[in-house]
Amino acid sequence: MNNFIKNPPIWLVAFSLILGAACLGVSPLLVRISEVGPVSSAFWRSFLALPFIIILIQSLNIKINFKTNNFNYIYLALPGIFLGIDHAAWHHGIMLTTIANSTLFASMAPVFVVIYSYLLFSIIVSKKFLLGLIASIIGAILLMYSSLELSIKNIYGDFWSLTAGAFYAAYLMSTGILRDKKLNLYIIFFFGTLFSALTLLIIVIFSNEMFLPISFNGWVVIISLAFISQFVGIGLITWALGKVKTGLASLTLMSEPVTASFLAWFVLGEYLSNMQFIGGVIILFGIIYAQSSTELKN
């Protein structure tokens, strides 16, 4: 069993990535119904996930080693800083544009991964990955087309959502660098969430918004956000980053619009048209097509 977890088959890694992205797709709905402000909900999302992560680490008997050299300490904070800015930007964007817009633009992280990989490391992605990425983007546009509202009134929200995608890509790449330095992924996850909470706390201090929920249901919403989107969603994606390349992990984020659309179907009664259904199929096809054994870490 331990060997199965340490060396999982590619289908399990792909399933974990898609499930993680699906959990992230729940975020817009929870942020919209939250009683606190968008940045405050982002802070609680990270802060309240910490106890769950600590319990997980203790249950796996993983020791947090504080004797890491200074070089690793500096880089250990980067994923959390990037993730905190991602959360703040996306939650802010969710409140300023439509859920469809915010989900689509925030899902552009794999595009930024390709750009960063080339500019920072001169890495050129394979044709297979690029075709899968293009197919997924086309599918996402078809899926969200009927709900998209490209207008001046949404431009600020769209900008913040796109910014979130850029910083989420930075989170994935910095996490990948720590992974390559042989740091334990659960420790990376813990410190990433910790520094995310600290980054968001600083931002919250300078924001003028509701910080504490005023009802029991309000607490249920932000605890659900912390558990589903942060602990399970980010946790699964971080774990999978130990098994596949960063590009493939980022590409699965394109499945996030699928989750948002199906939630709108089940919760809000917004039925999927034939075009939307085809778009969802194309997204999944693009992800599966880009997936190959060569994407596994050696």
In a domain, 38, yes or no: yes
In a domain, 5, yes or no: no
In a domain, 25, yes or no: no
Spatial separation of the C-alpha atoms in residues 181 and 175, rounded to whole Å: 10
For residues 262 and 28, the model is more confident at: 28
Kindly state the DSSP code that residue 169 receives in the 8-state scheme.
H
What is the percent of the chain where pLDDT is above 90? 13
In a domain, 243, yes or no: yes
Q: What is the pLDDT of residues 175-202, one digit of tens each?
A: 888 877 777 788 888 998 999 999 999 9
Work out the average pLDDT over 104-131. Answer: 76
In a domain, 255, yes or no: yes
DSSP H stretches of helix in the chain: 2-6, 10-24, 27-33, 38-47, 50-59, 70-96, 99-106, 109-121, 127-144, 155-180, 185-205, 216-224, 235-240, 246-251, 256-268, 274-290
Kindly state the DSSP code that residue 72 receives in the 8-state scheme.
H
Residue 290: predicted pLDDT: 67
Range of the structural domain that residue 231 is part of:
30-295
Number of CB atoms found within 10 A of residue 9's CB: 11
Residue-wise burial string across 47-82, b where 16 or more C-beta atoms lie within 10 A, e elsewhere: bbbbebbeeebeeeeeeeeeeeeeeeeebbbbbbbb
| pLDDT band (50, 70, 90) for residue 232 | very high
Asked if residue 293 has pLDDT above 90, the reply is no
What are 165's strand-pairing partners? Answer: none
For residues 275 and 27, the model is more confident at: 27
For residues 70 and 289, the model is more confident at: 289
Asked if residue 85 has pLDDT above 80, the reply is yes
In a domain, 50, yes or no: yes
Query: What contacts 144, CB < 8 A, 6 or more positions away?
Result: 100, 101, 103, 104, 257, 260, 261, 276, 279
Residue 207: predicted pLDDT: 83
Report if pTM > 0.85: no
Q: What is the pLDDT of residues 135-167, one digit of tens each?
A: 877 877 777 666 556 667 677 878 888 888 889
Q: How many domains are contained in the chain? A: 1
Residue 113: predicted pLDDT: 80
Distances (CA, A) of 91 to 39, 62, 161, 255, 272: 6, 32, 8, 19, 25
In a domain, 166, yes or no: yes
Q: Mean of the per-residue pLDDT values for the chain? A: 78
In a domain, 12, yes or no: no
Ramachandran angles phi, psi of 159, nearest 5°: -60, -45
